[in-house]
Amino acid sequence: MKVSKTQAAENRAGIVDAAARLYREKGLDGVGVAEITRDAGLTHGGLYRHFESKDALAREACLRAFEWTITPLDALEHTGCATADTDTPADITTADHFRALVHGYLSTSHRDQPGQGCPAAALATDAARAGPAMSEVFAQGVERNIQRFMRVIEGDNTERRAQTISTLSSMVGALVLARATAAGNPELSEEILQTLREQLAPSSQG
């Protein structure tokens, strides 16, 4: 039976969404085509009607993964009480916004749900080994993260970018270590997250 263009587009989006989640959960080499299509509710052969290769799917899925949401930041930006020129609620300061973002990123829930979280922490090593094409896609996603974080850091553009790169790199590293130690030493894992939260964005300012 012929599939409509609308249904074909939905099927394709479902494959990309499934791949974006599963790759973050299991790594680029830890997921097969059959698992991705099964998760999307499609047959194995259906993937190749939409993508020329598994690598092509992986690149698109990686870009989709960088559309992930940081819950505290998204809540602030989509409450409907944002100011017209900043997209930030009028009663939320830049420092509050930054603190919410950092604490959301370095949270236990983010640590425990890699499939819904930041691909920089989940896929950086895989991307480095996957060749120039994936590296280019990953770099686009990292730049997207940098631009997102820069919106809630004060200073001129050069200072903001440098601080953003430093902060983002620290958070990604902390999340990677927290995930790696969570099963074997949960206390250490929590300590890593808490330490970085308080160093980068203390809960209270003295």
Same domain for 40 and 121? Answer: no
Query: What CATH number did the domain enclosing 20 receive?
Result: 1.10.10.60
Same domain for 76 and 47? Answer: no
In a domain, 149, yes or no: yes
Between CA 168 and CA 114 the distance in angstroms is 17
In a domain, 66, yes or no: no
Same domain for 132 and 175? Answer: yes
pLDDT, one tens digit per residue, over 109-124 is 999 999 999 999 999 9
Query: What CATH number did the domain enclosing 143 receive?
Result: 1.10.357.10
pLDDT, one tens digit per residue, over 100-111 is 889 999 999 999
Kindly report the number of other CB atoms within 10 A of residue 165's CB atom: 15
pLDDT reading at 61 higher than 90: yes
Total domains in the chain come to 2
**Residue 80 has what pLDDT?**
38
In a domain, 205, yes or no: no
Percent with pLDDT over 70 in the chain: 84
In a domain, 206, yes or no: no
Top pLDDT among 89 and 171 is at 171
In a domain, 181, yes or no: yes
Same domain for 136 and 77? Answer: yes
**Residue 129 has what pLDDT?**
94
Top pLDDT among 23 and 158 is at 23
Look up tokens 């730049």; give the residue: 143
Same domain for 181 and 136? Answer: yes
Domain termination residue (choose one: 39, 61, 83):
61
Same domain for 53 and 111? Answer: no
In a domain, 182, yes or no: yes
Q: What is the mean pLDDT of residues 132-149?
A: 93
**Residue 148 has what pLDDT?**
84
**Residue 58 has what pLDDT?**
94
Whether residue 62 contacts residue 138, with contact meaning beta carbons closer than 8 Å, is answered with yes
Bridge partners of residue 89, in order along the sequence: 82
In a domain, 178, yes or no: yes
**Domain coverage including residue 51:** 5-61
Percent with pLDDT over 90 in the chain: 58
Same domain for 173 and 82? Answer: yes
Domain termination residue (choose one: 41, 61, 81):
61
Same domain for 86 and 159? Answer: yes
Same domain for 91 and 10? Answer: no
Residue 153: which of 87, 204, 99 has the closest Cα? 99
pLDDT reading at 76 higher than 60: no
Domain termination residue (choose one: 14, 34, 61):
61
Quick one: tokens of 63?
Answer: 């870009």
pLDDT, one tens digit per residue, over 12-29 is 899 999 999 999 999 999
In a domain, 150, yes or no: yes
Same domain for 102 and 150? Answer: yes
Mean pLDDT of the chain: 85
pLDDT reading at 155 higher than 90: no
**Residue 168 has what pLDDT?**
95
pLDDT reading at 33 higher than 70: yes
Same domain for 53 and 76? Answer: no
Q: For residue 91, what are the CA distances in angstroms to 64, 71, 76, 94, 102? A: 32, 18, 10, 10, 19
Top pLDDT among 1 and 153 is at 153
pLDDT, one tens digit per residue, over 159-189 is 999 999 999 999 999 999 999 999 999 999 9
Residue 106: which of 171, 48, 57, 156 has the closest Cα? 171
Same domain for 183 and 104? Answer: yes
**Residue 31 has what pLDDT?**
92
pLDDT reading at 151 higher than 80: yes
